[in-house]
């Protein structure tokens, strides 16, 4: 199953943000299971790096990103996705639109985020980390 992980899940792991850290860290660990393929976008990585760097410094943030990128797949974000996001009047947050279309292009079956309301326009399943674990693991 291909799953897309939103930036806030990665940030919660990198910065050990409770109470979501235990579940969000389990989501990222799904990359170790052959039945799951974990994806995120370059934009999510940039957001996660930014918040990790603020808390842990540049060197540690780089190490975290490097480790993560060895274990998950990175989606593409291109001009087509930008145009789709702009033209979709349902989408009010440009960044979330880019992530959504990036997930679709990679054939992800769901988006995992700690703020499900961000993807109110999604036509694929949107779950938080706990819901995904309860339903699929």
- The domain that contains 123 carries what CATH number? 3.40.50.1010
Q: Which structural domain range is residue 28 located in?
A: 2-136
What's the mean per-residue pLDDT of the chain?
97
Residue where the block lists tokens 């989501």: 27
pTM, two decimal places: 0.96
Share of the chain above pLDDT 90, in %: 99
Give the pLDDT mean for 52-70.
97
Rg, C-alpha atoms of the chain: 14
**Model confidence at 59: pLDDT above 90:** yes
Q: Encode pLDDT of 3-34 as tens digits.
A: 999 999 999 999 999 999 999 999 999 999 99
Number of domains in the chain: 1
Give the pLDDT mean for 110-135.
98
CA–CA separation, 35 and 40 (whole Å): 17
Nearest alpha carbon to residue 46 among 2, 95, 111, 107: 95
**Model confidence at 137: pLDDT above 90:** no
Neighbouring-strand partners of residue 46: none
């Amino acid at each position: 199953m291909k799953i897309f992980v939103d930036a806030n899940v990665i940030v919660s792991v990198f910065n050990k943000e409770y109470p979501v850290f235990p579940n969000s860290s389990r989501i990222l660990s799904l990359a170790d299971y052959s039945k799951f393929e974990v994806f995120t976008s370059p934009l999510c990585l940039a957001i996660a790096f930014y918040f990790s760097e603020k808390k842990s410094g540049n060197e540690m943030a780089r190490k975290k990103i490097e480790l993560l990128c060895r274990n998950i797949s990175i989606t593409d974000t291109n001009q087509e996705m930008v145009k789709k996001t702009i033209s979709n009047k349902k989408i009010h947050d440009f960044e979330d639109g880019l992530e959504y279309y990036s997930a679709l292009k990679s054939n992800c079956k769901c988006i995992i985020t700690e703020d499900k309301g961000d993807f109110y326009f999604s036509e694929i399943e949107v779950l938080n980390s706990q819901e995904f674990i309860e339903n699929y693991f």
